[in-house]
A and B are shown apart, each in its own frame.
Chain A
Amino acid sequence: MDIIEKLIHAARPKSRRGVAGIWLDEHKLVAAARKVREAGYTKFEAITPFPLHGIDEAMGIPFSWIPWVTLTFCLTGFAFGTWFTWWASAVDWPLIIGGKPMWSLPAFVPIMFECTILFGALASVGALLYICGLPQIDPPVIDPALSSHKFGLFIPEDDTGYNQAAVEKLLKDNGAVEVKRAEF
């Protein structure tokens, strides 16, 4: 084991144990996710190679709150741009340029606009990384094909009313082509 392996091992996030099912058809996965949710599980995850429409509703995933972050930071950026151009041009070192007033607001609009967009965009991406817990170092992958052409469901051991035999049966009955114990 080389030094890099050791470092990766030390930094690896703590994984949960549980049962995973694999599907080849995304429509069957959505139906299965609905059944798993109806069976009372709440902490289960669906793993898909692309965003699957209908899965949010089937799993009961609420509407993303990131737009609020974007709005807040856009307004912050706008306020910062307004304040900074005013403070630098009219307060900290006032200079008459081109006979314009010290606080020549129309001339500052481009700066205010760019600050709005920059703050909003970077904060949205920051919120995405935060909420998804990224970056993660080498997290466990149930099946490498889950990022290509297979679709998975994972039910962790700590979920409400977890019972391994029942979970395995639930996944099989809903069309999983493969059911196995897994780490995620």
Chain B
Amino acid sequence: MISRKPLVLGNKNYETVTKDICSLVETFPSPMYYLGMGGAQFLLLLYLFAQGMIVWYGMGMMGVNHPVGWGTDIITFVFWIGIGHAGTLISAILFLFRQKWRTSIARSAEAMTVFAVMTAGTFPVLHTGRPWLAYWLLPYPNQRGPLWVNFRSPLVWDVFAVSTYATVSAVFWYIGMVPDLATIRDRAINKWRKRIYGMLSLGWRGTARNWNHYEMVYMLLCGLSTPLVLSVHSIVSFDFAVASLPGWHTTIFPPYFVAGAIFSGFAMVVTLMCIIREVVPVFKDYITLEHMEAMNKIIMTTGLMVGYAYGSEFFIAWYSGSEYEGFTFLNRAFGPYWWSYWIMVSCNVFIPQLFWFRFFRRNIPWMFVISIFVNIGMWFERFVITVTSLHRDFLPSNWGMWVPTLYDFGALFGSFGLFFTLFLLYIRLMPAISIAEVKPVLTVGREGAHGHH
């Protein structure tokens, strides 16, 4: 019989689990943490400066112009939204599939979702050029008629999808944390810590009757988040697919975008977990090599799906017999932006193949590097879709090139500062592993304990 591997190492009991996970909130962090926070703050300042200049002087600061009207803002928006998807996949879909290994990474993956969606949300708002009028995107009663938004537009679908996703994943994340915040409150000796975590925990006391409803709501939220997460990136893909531009107007886009989102999201989870394991050594017992290996397998699988989509797109471009479609794909691979196409293919299809080997799946430095490559590759995937389709469409007189400015780079790299600042604050201030969810899986793979339920 194949024995189950333990999900938590170090022979923990309930008390040590509580202590380990709360220790991060209750003690001062390591120098590594401050180093990371310093880097994140620097990038955040860069972001504020770049976006501030763009808002002040206008969109002309960025590279967007005719014919490429969608540049860094839209590419990076899709990139960050995609990152968010793995969090919901881990926390909701793996929960519904009863994958117990998800428990120790679910909380941080969900936090990643929330922060990635927040970071993503800033981009389309700033891309409007006049972000102070961004509320026009919402259908609110107004004095212009009222003139409603155009519900037939994919951009309005996107507003609904992303704002629903942000709301539901934030609520899901918070509700999941309530019992653990109560644990921190009960352990608090400091008066202010007790008050603040007491407020955040909403006065949760963990009675059996409350847990009964709580577990039900948790499952319901998983059930609602699952179709939601699939819809969000489908709708993001509609932003492209509903337009009649060659390279965008394809039915493969929704599943292709969702697979790519999960792929890039898992890569980001691996990146973050490698960092957390270094910053908080005690978490190595909870986020074990088994977890990392499982995620690397998913990266490889979804990488193959993405590779299949690249091949399928090319095939259909030829098989459809459409001259424009065929040209667009040849132009992607061999036109002026050929390098971006091959960066995308190398990072997303070739490099993850290393995960066929157990050595790479279980080696932290290697998987960290590979996950970074996947992140780069997935940013370039969105670059290829957005820029190479727009820059040469039907009429050669309508062709042009897109050249980024320093502000494009500032907005892109700076957004990592926003994301990592939020994420590092979170692991310092919130229970970064679900205390209440890890305890029931302590016995998995342990002989001589109370056995399985």
Contacts and interface: CB of A to CB of B under 8 A. Distances in A.
B202 A104 contact: no
Nearest to A104: B152
A79 interface: no
A53 B157 CA distance: 41
Interface stretch (B70-78, B163-171, B366-374, B383-391): B163-171
Contacts of A124: 217, 220-221, 224
Contacts of B152: 89, 97-98, 100, 104, 107-108
Contacts of B225: 121
Nearest to A154: B207
A47 interface: yes
Interface size of B as a range: 35 or more
B310 to A, nearest CB: 26
A148 B213 contact: no
Interface stretch (B13-21, B277-285, B287-295): B13-21
B295 to A, nearest CB: 24
Contacts of A173: none
A111 B157 contact: yes
Interface string A97-116: 11010001001101101110
B184 to A, nearest CB: 9
B167 A51 contact: no
Contacts, number: 192
B23 interface: no
Summarize B's interface: helix, strand, loop or mixed: helix
A13 to B, nearest CB: 8
A177 interface: no
A55 interface: yes
Interface residues of A, number: 66
Contacts of A97: 150, 152
A150 to B, nearest CB: 8
Contact of A45 (B199, B203, B208): B208
A64 B205 contact: no
B147 to A, nearest CB: 6
A118 B211 contact: no
Counting chain A CB atoms within 10 Å of each CB, the highest count among B164, B183, B220 belongs to B220
Interface string A58-80: 01010010110010001000000
B404 to A, nearest CB: 31
Nearest to B161: A114
Given A50-B436, A110-B238, A70 B220 contact: yes
A96 B214 CA distance: 47
B453 A147 contact: no
A148 B186 CA distance: 9
Contacts of B14: 49, 148-149
Residue from B18, B167, B224, B453 with most neighbouring chain A CB atoms (10 Å) = B224
A149 B13 contact: yes
Contacts of B450: 27
B18 A149 contact: yes
Contacts of A39: none
A51 B202 contact: no
Contacts of B435: 49-50
B98 interface: no
A149 B186 contact: no
